[in-house]
Structure 1
């Protein structure tokens, strides 16, 4: 299991200001599929 919240926090801590790509295949609508972004305190 990959703990993405840990990875994103480390990227932020290191001061990375570039883009990060996340590929996924949503099971429902795009909006539903992207709810995880907000739950981790991230934005698009």
Structure 2
């Protein structure tokens, strides 16, 4: 990751990288938050 940062510097690539990283982080956070409710929904739907 450090070499990536050094290669991109402060150019537009760095902005894209930061956006992608924050997007991924937000998605991971959302998934981990909604995972339990998804499992509950599946259990109710399919009666596991």
Query: Does TM, scored on the shorter chain, surpass 0.5?
Result: no
Relative to total residues, which structure has the larger helix share, 1 or 2? 2
Question: What is the TM-score when the length of structure 1 is the normalising length?
Answer: 0.29
Task: Compare CA radii of gyration and give the structure with the larger one.
Answer: 2
Larger RCO, structure (CA 8 Å, separation 6 or more): 1
